[in-house]
């Protein structure tokens, strides 16, 4: 966030003490803020927020206020159609801070953090950086309307089989062994692409179609799970039960019938019930859950700790698994109060002889903390993202306990050059990189500065923004790859861009880029991209391959179609080879040869048949999978013998 971006923001200060209010105004003015409104108490602030147009972007609020205090103001704000990011300006001890943050989370308020009085410039800038990072995905108010998806559209999707389960692996923490998966529904929408649950579940629920969706996911998952078992992949399968289903007296027998029809072992199926659903487990609901347990199903209390009577539910329902909610996993490393809650929950699970699972694990620090606490099973992006059914067997075959040890150990040491023209973003990303402790971090604000740095030092990794004022980061990449700088041919390169444009991903294949990050990038995304870039097998092509490659199109002899980058459809496509086999992207391996061309959803050529796949090309295809015409790639098992070049 540079000064011009700060100038566009609209700030509101809610502070009853005139001196403190004036101090905040002065601080905001010094960093470049131009739009500042002030309120002396919560009621005045609420009236301004309700009437303001355009709305406030960032609210700086004290908690101890007359007429309406800060806590009441936060509660009332939950009903606003547009929410500002919130910074608390108050002296809070750790317990009070965690309590206020928990309240804000319950109301789904976008709280950035807190500042002590008097506030500091550096702390304010850090929090504004979080505002910038979260601007694209602010939480929706708790009482906001459900997503605007019509009932007929959902019903048609259910009828046509557009809703499919994706599967996220669950790993035993002691051994690193894959022991199960959770089925997570996705909507393969014909016009909007692959949609995550957040884009449609609220609408499915509001239109009364959740039961229909539950039966589809349960049936498909059982059928898929049985094929895995027949192949020797004996994994447990977790499926979520909806709250509306639990009270139906016929539920248990219907579930037994659906799962048994596909031959899937009942004892390998775990039914997940949210804590809020368990709270309503009375009469028929308790009967259903008990009957399912008697038939051999596992029962999991999902999102444990987010409700109000979790302990009571553990005594009423015969659960076999306790899942720690990801909101606790995310904050436990930093907050002692949350860490104590997680540790106590795991202790309860052990004493009740329940399996414990932590979901949402994203960092090595979270893994190590939970493992030390004695958690049994881990699930989260650190291990793997949810994947289509056809990709899972290949993923499991490649996975072994050492995979996780490599990911949780420190990455190889490497000197990094960061190229970013915006001062604030350059400082923010540089600090994130230094926190990863991978090696020396140098920065440059332009292609010219980057070339100067490359003259005097060697960097194993270059991270560059695409938009560098008058220059392009792609031009810097071309200069490095074509050996026109002192940088070594094996230098790894990661692109940063705030534009999710198809052409950028396509050009990353032509330029042999080792990673692509959409801005704003989190610390986890940055670390994941760097680890992949440093560990993927990579051999640069001869310099001549890159010399004719501009930021607009690949060379004529490139396996990429130049027509892609000129936005004209490919006229012909090499026919599929009859001996090729179709694989999911996750099943591809370096050295395989394309037996059929890869096209995007507009039928434009991305890679021609006959091209030998490399690790970096496979990774780029994974990153652009949502742009591909087909989810499967037709390949030969291995590359044909190559004649040496002369």
Buried b / exposed e along 89-101 (16+ C-beta atoms within 10 A) = bbebeeeebbebb
pLDDT of amino acid 337: 80
Q: pLDDT tens digits for 494-511?
A: 988 876 555 666 677 778
Pairing of strands 598-599, 605-607: antiparallel
CA distances from 580 to 35, 601, 610, 633 (A): 62, 21, 11, 9
CA dist 481 and 546 (Å) reads 6
CA dist 198 and 315 (Å) reads 31
Contact 512, 474 (CB under 8 A): no
CA dist 641 and 593 (Å) reads 11
User: Which class for 32: exposed (0-12), middle (13-18), buried (19 or more C-beta within 10 A)?
Assistant: middle
CA dist 542 and 187 (Å) reads 43
Contact 284, 314 (CB under 8 A): no
SS3 552: coil
Q: In the chain, what is the straight-line distance between the N-terminal and C-terminal CA atoms, in Å?
A: 51
CA dist 200 and 605 (Å) reads 32
Neighbours of 637 (CB within 10 A): 13
Q: Which long-range contacts (CB under 8 A, 24 or more apart) does 433-439 make?
A: 433/463, 433/526, 435/523, 436/411, 436/523, 436/526, 436/527, 436/530, 437/410, 438/410, 438/411, 438/412, 438/413, 438/414, 438/530, 439/413, 439/414, 439/415
Q: Which of 591, 599, 561, 593 is nearest to 577 (CA)?
A: 593
pLDDT of amino acid 189: 87
CA dist 605 and 439 (Å) reads 39
Rg of the chain on CA atoms, in Å: 27
pLDDT of amino acid 229: 95
Listing DSSP states for 454-482 in one string gives HHH---SEEEEESEETTEEHHHHHHHHHT
Residue 460: phi and psi, rounded to 5, are -80, -20
Residues of the chain scoring pLDDT < 70: 1-2, 92-95, 98, 132-148, 243-244, 275-282, 303-313, 401-412, 499-506, 548-579, 623, 626-627, 638-646
Element (H, E) at 534: helix 523-535
Task: State how far Cα 134 lies from the chain centre.
Answer: 13
Residue 213: phi and psi, rounded to 5, are -65, -40
CA dist 468 and 423 (Å) reads 12
Neighbours of 261 (CB within 10 A): 12
Name 248's Cβ contacts closer than 8 Å, sequence gap at least 6: 211, 254, 284, 288
pLDDT of amino acid 157: 94
Counted residue by residue, the chain has a size of 646
CA dist 464 and 549 (Å) reads 18
Neighbours of 599 (CB within 10 A): 20
- Give strand pairing partners of 322: 301, 356
Listing DSSP states for 321-342 in one string gives EEEE-HHHHHHHTT-HHHHHHH
Catalytic residue among 359, 420, 422, 553: 359
Q: Which of 543, 539, 525 is nearest to 478 (CA)?
A: 543
Element (H, E) at 431: helix 423-436
pTM above 0.85, yes or no: no
Residue 528 appears among annotated catalytic residues: no
- The domains found in the chain, sorted by start residue, are 3-137 (3.40.50.2300), 156-396 (3.20.20.450), 410-556 (3.40.50.2300), 559-646 (no CATH)
């Amino acid at each position: 966030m540079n000064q011009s971006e700060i100038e566009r923001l609209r700030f509101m200060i809610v502070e009853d003490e005139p001196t403190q209010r004036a101090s905040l105004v002065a601080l905001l003015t010094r960093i470049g803020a131009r739009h500042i409104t002030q309120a002396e108490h919560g009621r005045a602030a609420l009236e301004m927020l309700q009437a303001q147009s355009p709305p406030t972007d960032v609210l700086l609020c004290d908690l101890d206020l007359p007429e309406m205090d800060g806590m009441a103001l936060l509660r009332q704000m939950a009903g606003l159609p547009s929410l500002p990011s919130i910074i608390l300006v108050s002296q809070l001890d750790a317990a009070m801070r965690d309590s206020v943050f928990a309240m804000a989370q319950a109301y789904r308020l976008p709280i950035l953090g807190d500042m002590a009085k008097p506030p500091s410039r550096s702390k304010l800038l850090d929090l504004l950086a979080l505002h910038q990072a979260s601007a694209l995905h602010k939480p929706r108010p708790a009482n906001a309307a459900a997503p605007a998806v019509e009932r007929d559209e959902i019903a048609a999707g259910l009828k046509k089989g557009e809703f499919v389960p994706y599967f996220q692996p669950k790993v035993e923490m002691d051994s690193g062994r894959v022991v199960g998966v959770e089925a997570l529904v996705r909507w393969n929408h014909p016009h909007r692409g692959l949609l995550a649950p957040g884009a449609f579940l609220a609408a499915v629920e509001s239109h009364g179609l959740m039961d229909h969706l539950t039966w589809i996911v349960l049936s498909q998952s059982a059928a898929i799970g049985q094929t895995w078992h027949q192949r020797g992949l004996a994994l447990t399968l977790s499926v979520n039960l909806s709250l509306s289903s639990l009270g139906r007296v016929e539920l248990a027998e219907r579930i037994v019938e659906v799962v048994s029809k596909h031959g899937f072992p009942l004892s390998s199926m775990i039914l997940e019930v949210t804590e809020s659903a368990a709270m309503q487990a009375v009469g028929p609901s308790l009967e259903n859950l008990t009957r399912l347990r008697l038939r051999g199903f596992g029962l999991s209390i999902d999102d444990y700790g987010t409700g109000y009577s979790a302990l009571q539910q553990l005594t009423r329902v015969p659960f076999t698994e306790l899942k720690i909610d990801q909101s606790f996993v995310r904050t436990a490393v930093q907050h002692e109060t949350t860490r104590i809650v997680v540790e106590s929950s795991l202790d309860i699970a052990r004493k009740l002889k329940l399996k414990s699972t932590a979901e949402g694990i994203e960092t090595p620090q979270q893994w190590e903390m939970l493992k030390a606490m004695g958690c049994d099973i881990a699930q989260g992006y650190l291990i793997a993202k949810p994947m289509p059914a056809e990709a899972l067997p290949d993923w499991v075959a490649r996975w072994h306990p050492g995979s996780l040890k490599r990911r949780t150990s420190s990455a190889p040491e490497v000197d990094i050059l960061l190229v970013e023209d915006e001062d604030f973003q350059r400082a923010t990303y540089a600090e994130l990189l230094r926190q990863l402790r991978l090696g020396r971090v140098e920065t440059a604000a332009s292609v010219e500065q980057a070339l100067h740095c490359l003259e005097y030092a060697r960097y194993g990794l270059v991270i560059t923004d695409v938009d560098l004022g008058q220059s392009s980061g792609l031009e810097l990449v071309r200069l490095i790859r074509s050996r026109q700088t002192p940088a070594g041919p094996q230098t790894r390169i990661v692109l940063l861009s705030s534009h999710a444009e198809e052409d950028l991903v396509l050009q990353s294949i032509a330029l042999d880029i080792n990673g692509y990050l959409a801005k704003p990038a989190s610390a986890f995304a940055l670390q994941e991209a760097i680890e992949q870039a440093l560990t993927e097998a990579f051999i640069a092509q001869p310099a001549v391959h890159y010399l004719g490659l501009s930021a607009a199109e690949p060379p004529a002899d490139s396996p990429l179609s130049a027509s892609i980058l000129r936005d004209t459809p490919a006229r012909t496509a090499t026919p599929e080879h009859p001996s090729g086999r179709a694989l999911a992207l996750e099943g591809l391996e370096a050295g395989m040869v394309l037996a059929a061309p890869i096209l995007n959803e507009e039928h434009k050529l991305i890679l021609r048949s006959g091209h030998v796949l490399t690790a970096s090309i496979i990774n780029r295809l994974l990153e652009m999978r949502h742009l591909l015409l087909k989810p499967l790639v037709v390949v030969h098992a291995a590359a044909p013998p190559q004649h040496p070049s002369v």
